[in-house]
Amino acid sequence: MKKVALYLIPLGLFLGLILFLYQGLFSNPREHQSSLLEQPMPEFVLPDLMNIEQTYTEDVFLGKVTLLNVWGVWCITCAVELPYLKQLQNEGKHIVGLYFDQDIDPDFGIKTVARVQQEVTDKLSQLGNPYAYNIFDVKRDLSMDLGVTGAPETYLIDQQGKIRLHHIGDINPRVWNKKFAAIYHELVAQ
Amino acid sequence: MKRLVSTLFVVMLACLSSLVVATEDKFHFDSPEKTALFVELTKELRCPKCQNQNIADSDAMIAVDLKRKVYELLQKDYDKEQVIDFMKQRYGDFVYYQPPVNPMTIWLWLLPVLFIFTALAGIVITRKRQVVEMDSEQLAKAQAILERDE
């Protein structure tokens, strides 16, 4: 009897290893805890994309539950999620765009603002505009402070201006229901 | 013809070398220590987008931005730890290749040690038992032979 127990130990260890490796097959390496959760929005002073004279600061998020969507016209997945974001906006969600441009290299700076505005207007009139307004992250500083790795990414910000959720990738009905819906409704009810 | 080819080759080389100079000029430091630290940091910081590359290797936009940030911070006289902390605050422990020791990652160091010790203990125990069994068996056999001879 004791001998059987002894043989079961390596079998148990083996099964444990198999289980550990098996669940690894379904984990997403791109998903990792954002270090900014429960933190207030980083400080910033950035212009409105369509009206460069107007500037926003982190205080603009106070008092409303906001979805901050990081995007750009050059990003294909962003174009895919735009119609769904439009639908969310039609349902009454407050969506703000954080726009940054790939071609504006702070070291070389070639593209004019007027050109960027034209591209954005074209894209949004074609696919629908879900944004209350767009913040223009000229040198991608705010994106860096937010830990943005690419586009699209979306942040859920509560009434106190704190970041409650950080999603890397597009938003679709599945992601919304699984990740956003519960916490969004809880925040709105507050 | 031969001459043309060689001229073309020289022109190509010239283009290449000017490219190299351009990338080096982009991040220029006053002191060689800072240059060395910059090279070291960009090798040890991980690109958040293309996960198996460091930011020195990667051409993703985010990696370019991170490199520029490292450059900026070093110009502001940040030391190595401060730059790493700056990045970790934004991108998490993930951004640095050396994982921190905490209750979750401690197993990375403990497990191999534990494994070695259990394996050693196992070997010692089975060895001991075998020796004892062999001895008593052989003794009995020897005793039998002795008795037969008498």
The per-residue pLDDT for range A35-76, each reduced to its tens digit, is: 788 889 999 999 999 998 999 999 999 999 999 999 999 889
pLDDT of residue A101: 84
| Candidate from A21-25, A179-183, B15-19, B28-32 with smallest mean pLDDT | B15-19
Residue in B with minimal Cα distance to A144: B90
Q: Does A18 touch chain B (CB under 8 A)?
A: no
- Cross-chain residue pair A147–B91, CB shorter than 8 Å: yes
DSSP state of A47: E
* Predicted complex ipTM exceeds 0.85: no
Amino acid at A187: L
pLDDT of residue B117: 95
Which tokens sit at B88?
């970790």
Structural contact between residues A185 and A95, judged by C-beta atoms closer than 8 angstroms:
no
- Cross-chain residue pair B61–A145, CB shorter than 8 Å: no
Please give the torsion angle defined by the CA atoms of residues B49, B51, B52 and B56, in that order, rounded to the nearest 10 degrees.
40
**Helices (DSSP H) in A33-148: which residue ranges?**
76-90, 113-127, 141-146
- Cross-chain residue pair A145–B91, CB shorter than 8 Å: no
> Tell me: the pLDDT tens digits for A79-116?
999 999 999 999 999 999 999 887 655 555 567 788 88
Q: What share of chain B is helix, strand, coil (3-state, %, to 5)?
A: 75, 5, 25
pTM comes to 0.74
- The C-alpha atoms of residue B84 and residue B75 are separated, in whole angstroms, by 15
> Tell me: the pLDDT tens digits for A142-171?
998 998 888 899 999 999 999 999 998 899
Among A34, A140, A149, the residue with its CB nearest the CB of B49 is A149
